[in-house]
Structure 1
Amino acid sequence: MKNIHHTSVLLIRGSLVSAALLLTSCGDFLDLSPENYIPIEKSISDAGTARAAVVGAYNAVQDYYDDDFTSLGVMPADNVIFNGSLSQYLQLDQNAVPTDNVITVNVYKGIYKAVNSANSIIASLGSVADPLLTAEEKDRILGEAYFIRALGYFDLARSWGGVQIQLKPTTDLDVLKGIKRSTLEQTYDQVLSDLVEAEKLLPEDAATHNRAQKSTARALRARLHLYREQWDDAERYATQVIGNDKYSLVKPYGAFFTAPFLTEESVLELTFSLNDKNNYWNLWLPASLGGQYTLKPSDKIAVLLNNPAIGGSRNTAIAGTDNNIYGRLYNTAGQGIDPAYVIRIAELYLIRAEARAKKASPDLSGAVADLNAVRRRADVPDYANTTDRNGIIQAIEDENSLEFAFEPHRWFDLVRTKRAGDVLGLTNTNFWLFPIPSSDILSDPDVEQNPGY
């Protein structure tokens, strides 16, 4: 069965703390600035440095999404099992996560690094006066920074609970002191505030799928409202994204994870290249394909995906036979150019389906229509019952599990719907959130550990 944990904190604190503790022993404190800190007055001063700064912020998001965050979203649940020798993945699989688990520490630090990058842009961009930086481009860069910060705090909140919210660039340890942990609702309020700003500033074009746009902000807002059980708002914002002709459910199912990627399926995917690799494939593919085969589809999900009436064409997400079935969502062996899939249009259909089924005045026919849009793309027969509300809600949960079997959804879905106990046998709700890294607890009296750790 499974176990996990809850937390909060300030920016990139983990790396600061580790550096401070190591350097103190040598009697030499060196520079206690965050690892990604460049003095603001020097870092963003013209069009070139502004553009470089936002690319750096996206790179920070890539750094935590390329493998570790996805592992947080799949390993503690029931679609993926441990099949290797790396203890950090075994700990996630067994829901026995210590405060120094390498993956949770890396994600925690990585998200705050991305937030810090966004904070630097937000704080500095307004003072840049360069004729090469048009008002439109400045708005876009600023909107992207607000979106990146919103995504970071959203991912922190759903993984660790309410966190310490830092909205100014972290320049040294002093600015990290004295900020108390916010509640989960306060953290989500900050996410909403940033998404409102992002939507105002961001452009919308007909082709971009790997940078934030207005629709990207609306999509994350739909997800945020879903997590907050604000059904009408979740439906409204999902509808806005679904109505954008730039997005569609591509066929066959495997098209979105086939090079050259960037299909109409993706509302936001993070692009990697031969010079900026995503080596997550290595954890999924067997040795015969050059991988370590550390992460393996569970027998349960393999059976479902291979059932034509349930998985349909989604069976292309797995390969192999018998006890050697492996996931192939991440499949560019040796190249490492698989994207990280942050938001797909299929999610928006299922968000709207769930919102329609759960709102005060349910629209069950509408919910089933959205559910069937996803099923038809996968060549699965329609769900026929439009009157059984509980059955429809269960069918939507099941569809999410199949559609996003190896993307960071299943664990977070079970936690947000309070179903982790029923499905995984994980009845201790303390372990529905991850532990704050022990280095942060030791370094800052304002950081409170999550219950149970």
Structure 2
Amino acid sequence: MKRLIYIVPFFILLGSCKKFLETQPQQQVDQSEAITNASSAGTAVNGMFNVLASNDYYGSNFPALSYLSAGDIQWTGSQSAPSEINKHLTSATNTNVGSAWTAIYKTISSANYIIATVPGINDPLFTTATRNQYLGEAYFVRALAYFDLARGWGGAQLILTPTITASDNKDIRRSTQAETYAQVLKDLDAAEPLVPTALNRNRVTQKTVWALKARFYLYLQQWAQAEQYATQVITTADYSLLKPYSAFFANSAVSTSESVFELAYTVSNTNNHSNWWLPPALGGRREWAPSDVLVGLLNNPLVGGGRSALIAQTAPPGNLWYGKLYYRTPLGTDPAYIIRTAELYLIRSEARAQQGNLTGALADLNAVRDRAGVTASTAATLPDILLALENERRVEFPFEADRWFNLVRTDRAQTLLSLPDKHLYLFPIPYSETLVDPNLAGANRNPGY
């Protein structure tokens, strides 16, 4: 429950934090010494990234809410929670939804403590550049977390200060979705001048902020700003569309020029993607599996092209299709892809189309298609280009947290997925939260749950 969750920053379980900074790993940070100097500040930032990368957040569970909702991924296991999501019968007691909610608020809590504490640290070893980097990264991570709450659950309670005692941050009303998005932009604006400008695909830089701003403005249908920030990333030499399509993930590739922001994992700090995607013969459970329709699209040379590399088939007699974006040995050391260069091209394409620049929109769409080895689109009208973009996202990001949220933002989910009601566009507020917090109960719950 949230009042317990918020105290986590003072006891941050770090696992292997060397994947983010070369600091000595610590198992926990006591409240009295949590952030007192440059070293402990770095440890706390590592902890924040580890919660962001945890299995309940981007390590598998949060993307799964999108996979299982969007119609192209089947659930083959026996657990009831993912089956509910897959069938659009999600309840407020769904444990997958509740775990994702909890992990997002844990991430926010970690960011809040860094934002509140780092400015006051008096340590001669704590340079201004490093101090600003930590603050900027905390603002960015909090922005990403609230962005995910806004697109997944609608309005959220905006917790912006640490919770040290049980009485802190009580009785906070639930903000509207618009207010939540406004907080996202405020945090991104705060992060932008603080984070480094140098390239880093696993940490937050100025270009990472620009990329999330491009996605943010797309969701808010502010087309000129979406185009502007997408262009600022695309025109940077650090990012490109790799050929062939599989180059960004095949042969154990990591941190390629395709990635704007990806989370790294190690043998001592793994994620769960491959466990759910790979068949038992390869060490997984294959409880997420591509649908027959998706398999057909990816294997169609006129649609999927080189993106057929995303799937493979088990040996006879099973002949089962499975996703192989996440496959590395040791299992669980695959990166989690948060923002890729291809998304920036498709964001700019849509933004240009909505502003009447159909030629520019088609050029960006075809850049993505060309990289995949697919012939150029001949879409000529705005509706045609928007439909082509929808279809392109479907095969470009089938195993990333993309399709469901895009179908919701374009109000296409009900039509394409035959949803009985649009209340399903939002996930339910977890029942356990509504029991302890009147600001999330009664009329404050998402309708229909």
For 1:99, the equivalent position in structure 2 comes to 92
After superposition, residues 188-267 of structure 1 pair within 5 angstroms as 188-206=181-199, 208-258=200-250, 259-267=252-260
Give the one of 39, 45, 48 matched to 1:54: 45
Counterpart of 1:331 in structure 2 is: 327
Amino-acid identity (%): 45
The answer to whether the 8 A contact 1:281-1:333 is kept is no
In the alignment, is residue 182 of structure 1 matched against residue 175 of structure 2?
Answer: yes
| Residue correspondences, number | 422
Of residues 64, 88, 110, the one that matches 2:103 is: 110
Q: CA deviation at 1:173?
A: 2.9
User: Aligned to 2:8, what secondary structure does the other structure show?
Assistant: coil
Distance 1:199 1:226 in 2: 18
Counterpart contact for 1:15–1:109, Cα < 8 Å: no
2:298, 2:304 within 8 Å by CA — same for their partners in 1? yes
SS of equivalent to 1:341: strand
Alignment of 1:34-183 (within 5 A): 34-38=7-11, 42-63=33-54, 64-183=57-176
* Counterpart Cα distance in 1 of 2:248 and 2:325: 9
Give, as a single letter, the amino acid of the residue that structure 2 aligns with 1:412. Answer: F
- TM-superposed CA distance for 1:433, in Å, is 0.6
* Equivalent in 410, 420, 431 of residue 424 of structure 2: 431
CA contact (8 A) 1:14 1:109 kept: no
CA distance in 1, matches of 2:427, 2:59: 19
Contact (CA 8 Å) 1:211, 1:268: kept in 2 or not?
Answer: yes
Asked if 2 retains the 8 angstrom alpha-carbon contact of 1:289 and 1:333, the reply is: no
Shift of 1:336: 1.2
Counterpart code for 2:339: I
Task: Quote how far apart the aligned CAs of 1:78 are.
Answer: 1.6
Q: CA deviation at 1:42?
A: 2.3
Stretches (4+) displaced over 4 A: 38-41
Separation of aligned partners in 2, 1:408 and 1:358: 23
Number of the residue aligned with 1:376: 370
SS at match of 2:260: strand
Name 1:22's counterpart in structure 2: none
**SS of 1:446 mapped into structure 2:** helix
| Bigger shift: residues 284-293 or 239-248 | 284-293
The residue aligned with 1:28 is none
Per-residue CA distance 1:42-65 (angstroms, 9 max, x = gap): 211101001111111100100110
**Structure 2 CA distance for partners of 1:15 and 1:87, relative to 1, 3 Å:** farther
User: What is the RMSD of the two structures over their aligned residues, measured on CA atoms?
Assistant: 1.5
**Are the aligned partners of 1:40 and 1:120 in contact in 2 as well (CA < 8 Å)?**
no
Contact 2:116 2:162 in 1 (8 A): yes
CA distance in 2, matches of 1:427, 1:221: 33
Offset, 1:135: 0.3
Unaligned stretches of 5+ residues in structure 2: 12-29
Q: Aligned pair 1:13/2:2, yes or no?
A: yes
Is 1:313 the equivalent of 2:309?
no
Does residue 350 (structure 1) correspond to residue 382 (structure 2)? The answer is no
* 1:185 Cα deviation after fit: 0.6
Shift of 1:14: 6.9
CA drift of 1:86 comes to 2.0
Cα distance per residue 1:269-297 (max 9 Å; x no partner): 00001010112201111122121110010
- Give the Cα separation in 2 of the matches to 1:271 and 1:111: 18
* SS of residue in 1 equivalent to 2:69: coil
The AA in structure 2 aligned to 1:13 is: K
| Aligned partner letter, 1:37 | F
Cα distance between partner residues in 2 of 1:355 and 1:287: 43
Is the contact made by 2:239 and 2:257 (CA closer than 8 Å) also made in structure 1? yes
Q: SS of the residue aligned with 1:176?
A: coil
**What secondary structure sits across from 2:168 in the alignment?**
helix
Report SS of the residue matched to 2:289: strand
Matched residue type, 1:366? G
Moved more, 164-173 or 151-160: 164-173
**Residue 19 of structure 1 corresponds to which residue in structure 2?**
none
CA 349–14 in structure 1, closer or farther in 2 if over 3 Å, else same:
farther
**Does the 8 A contact of 1:40 with 1:124 survive in 2?**
no
One-letter code of the match for 1:378?
A: A
Q: Could you say which residue in structure 2 is the equivalent of 1:9?
A: none
After alignment, is 86-95 or 234-243 more displaced?
Answer: 86-95
The DSSP-based 3-state class of the residue aligned with 1:65 is coil
Give the letter for the 2:377 counterpart. Answer: Y
Q: Following the alignment from structure 1 to structure 2, what is the Cα–Cα distance between the partners of residues 14 and 90?
A: 29
Counterpart in 1 of 2:27? none
Q: Report the CA distance shift for 1:40/1:242 in structure 2 as closer, same or farther (over 3 A).
A: farther
User: Are the equivalent residues in 1 in contact too, given 2:290–2:321 (CA < 8 A)?
Assistant: yes
Contact 2:8 2:109 in 1 (8 A): no
SS in 1 for 2:172: coil
Confirm whether residue 444 of structure 1 aligns to residue 417 of structure 2.
no
Deviations 1:363-391 (A, max 9, x none): 00000000011001100001123x31111
**How far is 1:333 from its partner?**
5.1
Between the aligned partners of 1:244 and 1:407, the Cα distance in structure 2 is 24
Shift of 1:261: 0.7
Give secondary structure in 1 for the equivalent of 2:398. coil
Establish whether residue 409 from structure 1 lines up as the match of residue 439 from structure 2: no
SS of 1:174's equivalent in the other structure is coil
Instruction: Measure, in 2, the Cα distance between the counterparts of 1:236 and 1:441.
Output: 40
- TM-score of the two chains, using structure 2 as the length reference: 0.91
Whole-angstrom CA distance in 1 between matches of 2:31 and 2:186: 24
Instruction: Tell me the TM-score normalized by structure 1.
Output: 0.91
